[in-house]
Amino acid sequence: MSTTPPPRIAIVGAGPGGLACARILARHGIAATVYDRDAGPDARDQGGTLDLHADNGQLALREAGLLEEFFRLSRHEGQEMRQLDPSGAVLFHHVPEPDERFKPEIDRRVLRDLLLGSLPPGTVRWGHTLRAVTGPSQGPRRLHFAGGTTVECDLVIGADGAWSAVRRSVSDATPRYTGVSFLEAWFHDVTARHPDIAELVGQGSAAAADGERGLFAQRNGGDHVRVYVIQRAPADWITAAGLEPQDTGRIRARLLERFRDWSPRMRRLVGDNDGPYVDRPIHALPAGHTWQHSPSVTLLGDAAHLMPPLGVGVNLALLDACELALALARHDTVGEAVRAYEDTMLPRSAETSRLLDGAVHDLVSTELPDFAAAAEGR
């Protein structure tokens, strides 16, 4: 980019998309500052494991100069996939080939640490909760943070997730509840403490459903397993039942009753967890979400196109980040770069979101997905 002085770029959100964008910009000599509401990189649990695909997420890591390090840190064996029935019988089993690299798994925390470690010191400003974005569409924009801090910039990149504060400056859209809720359960030291679950899940993921409810279990690094209990239910089903999220014993009893027709072995995935459950009602933005173009604000990842957790979210966020950073490096003005980026990203995300609209209900369907195609990356 040949502008003088250089543009002041603010990225809101230190998730994979925001950090990857900052990293690729830095490789092209373009400075950006990342603002995140967390007090620091270890302020909260970063979530489970991610599969980064060769045709999107890995492309971004290649542009970031981090692909080989990703392969070193990721788990090739995590590409194993099992589909079970409620009795625990195996309906489908994919074991990755020794050289299979289409979508290896990596823990969210490990990926974030990889990206953070690749950035110039001081790039990320922790403890900055964005309240509002003001200023004219042509810029400059002003970021207003909790506590009264303000920052002026020429481009605001909203990488701040499902409930994006940046999105409010260009769009009235808000995520809608899909009718499906996840309840996350953790299992630690599974080899020693939960050997039956370790064997059931294998080195990758295992899923089962009966038409109304389902389970999705995934092996994480460090000998951990996370299980997502999937139900068609109101978003407030816990409080509607007179429970509180911390009522672990009572929630467990209710879940075991709901899964009473499943085998005792499968019910261990529901009730033998270590510690509390984490309530995760699934929301999505309207399919084909777009916004009025502004040369001084744009969005990437879930802030732009929140979809159900069906294996595309982080990959699209990384691809968005890559394409936006490259557009900024290749165009003469920020406005031209944002326009070029959105001309590619918005049609792609619209097509994907329409394909996945309502697909979250497939997670409780007894009809087997095309796992063979998924395993081959089609």
Residue set of the binding site for FAD: 51, 108, 302
> Which is nearest to 208 in space by CA: 260, 279, 272, 267?
267
Q: Which residues are annotated as a binding site?
A: 44, 51, 108, 302
Distance, in Å, from the CA atom of 353 to the CA atom of 349, rounded to the nearest integer, reads: 6
Query: Would you call 281 helix, strand, or coil by DSSP?
Result: strand
Print burial letters for 215-239: b (CB count within 10 Å at least 16), e (below 16): bbbbbbbeebbbbbbbbbbebebbe
**Sign of the alpha-carbon torsion through 287, 52, 96, 45:** negative
Length of the chain: 378
Q: Taking each helix axis as running N to C, give the angle between helix 264-271 and helix 248-258, from 0 to 180 degrees, rounded to the nearest 10.
A: 150
**What residues contact residue 334 under an 8 Å CB cut-off, 6+ apart?**
3, 7, 9, 139, 154, 155, 295, 296, 328
Q: Which residues are annotated as a binding site for NADPH?
A: 44
**What residues contact residue 79 under an 8 Å CB cut-off, 6+ apart?**
51, 94, 96, 100, 102, 103, 104, 105, 204, 375
Angle (nearest 5°) at CA 325 between 288 and 143:
75
**What residues contact residue 175 under an 8 Å CB cut-off, 6+ apart?**
162, 163, 283, 284, 285, 306
> Which H helix or E strand runs over 181?
strand 176-187
Residue-by-residue DSSP string for 357-369: TTGGGGGG-SSPP
Q: Is the preceding omega at residue 140 within 30 degrees of 0, hence cis? A: yes
> Which H helix or E strand runs over 213?
strand 213-220
Asked whether the beta carbons of 292 and 338 are under 8 A apart, the reply is no
**What residues contact residue 249 under an 8 Å CB cut-off, 6+ apart?**
none
